[in-house]
Structure 1
Amino acid sequence: MAEAKKGKAGLTEVEVSTSDLAAIVGKTSRWIRQLTTEKVLKQSGRGKYILAEAVQAYILHISGGAKDDGKPTYTDHKTEHERIKAEKAALELEEMKGNLHAASDVSRLLSDLILTTKSRVLGVPSRIATECDKEPADVVESVVRREIETALSALAKYTPDQIGGDVNNGSPKDS
């Protein structure tokens, strides 16, 4: 019984070289040195590692790291990457269905809408002025133009930033 304990204690003290450790874990010596630089593995001497400690540290590293060190683990990064890929795929699907539009497309559409509306509204005074009988045409035209420009100034103050929140999620502002 004492022999078994002595043999087990001996395994925890076995010292191996960088190349031996690389062969044990199935990686290159360069990879082992990189893990040493990153402080995943600790050397017991120059190019030497305690086998049991090194293998346990390597297993902990490839399994995602310790949960209590406060740093994100490899598994955390992988999970976040997969979540982002799924979100991107969902957005692309919504775009293909026509339920979602690129912000640049909506911005271009709104700019065209504003310019077209402005041109049409500014054409109203000359059309109205010819239909008014009681007032001289220039008086009616100036009054109507002033009122239309007042209305358009409010429209001109809108920026894509003010409606960007609704544009980005593809939902209309009033729905």
Structure 2
Amino acid sequence: MAKPKAKPEKLQDKEILTSELAAIVGKTPQWIRQLTRDKVLHQVGRGKYCLGEAVQAYCEHVSGGKEEEQRPRLIDFKTQHEKIKAEKAELELEQMKGNLHAAADVERLLSDLILTTKSRLLGVPSRIAAACENESAEVVEAIVQREIETALSALAKYTPDKIGGEIDHGSPEDG
């Protein structure tokens, strides 16, 4: 009577040694033992691993862990990092095109505009005092109106292309 054929063992169910698994994944046996201590890989016997389970567990570990786990995966951090780099490059491009300005530049420009306008407006009384002496109310009103309009003209001359460049402080006669 012939012996029954032994069922061949499936490759994924084959038990392999630590050194064999290390050779398969391209790491050292010490690395495999560390992953075992970290509970990434599970031994089926002393120094033995089930090939299919070990390779799948290692691949999962390399990709950052299981998706259903509540902790972030390495691949998630890498994806987020790449998105941030793309956003940064986009902002730098817009800045080079002149469509985006640094907050410090805008703050400096607006601060200068406000201070210049304030000083011009505060200088109005001293500039018109002599001109308004013994004048009628209509003439005084016209002189005050003209001086205020002159002081505010710096705001009307504002253009966005001055951001990041030199700021127009007006002429010394303007105050």
Work out the CA distance in 2 between the residues paired with 1:111 and 1:127.
24
**1:132 to 1:11, Cα distance in 2 relative to 1, 3 A:** closer
Residue in 1 that maps onto 2:84: 84
Verify: 1:16 aligned to 2:17, yes or no: yes
Cα contact 2:63–2:75 (8 A) shared by 1: yes
Unpaired stretches in structure 1, ≥5 consecutive residues: 149-175
Q: CA RMSD in A?
A: 3.2
Work out the CA distance in 1 between the residues paired with 2:37 and 2:119.
67
Cα contact 1:67–1:73 (8 A) shared by 2: yes
SS at match of 2:17: strand
Q: Aligned letter for 2:106?
A: V
1:151-166 matches, within 5 Å, as none
Verify: 1:4 aligned to 2:22, yes or no: no
Shift of 1:77: 2.2
Moved more, 59-68 or 92-101: 59-68
SS at match of 1:52: helix
Q: Which has the larger radius of gyration?
A: 2
What TM-score, normalized to structure 2?
0.61
SS at match of 2:6: helix
**1:28 to 1:111, Cα distance in 2 relative to 1, 3 A:** farther
Work out the CA distance in 2 between the residues paired with 1:113 and 1:78.
44
Residue in 1 that maps onto 2:103: 103
> How many equivalent pairs are there?
135
SS at match of 2:125: helix
Work out the CA distance in 2 between the residues paired with 1:25 and 1:51.
11
Residue in 2 that maps onto 1:114: 114
Cα contact 1:95–1:101 (8 A) shared by 2: yes
Unpaired stretches in structure 2, ≥5 consecutive residues: 149-175
What TM-score, normalized to structure 1?
0.61
**1:70 to 1:112, Cα distance in 2 relative to 1, 3 A:** same
Richer in helix (by share): 1
Q: Alpha-carbon deviations, 1:37-94, whole Å to 9, x = none? A: 5432234566554433221101222344322223333332222222111111111110
1:18-167 matches, within 5 Å, as 19-44=19-44, 48-134=48-134
Question: Percent identity of the aligned residues?
Answer: 65
Moved more, 94-103 or 32-41: 32-41
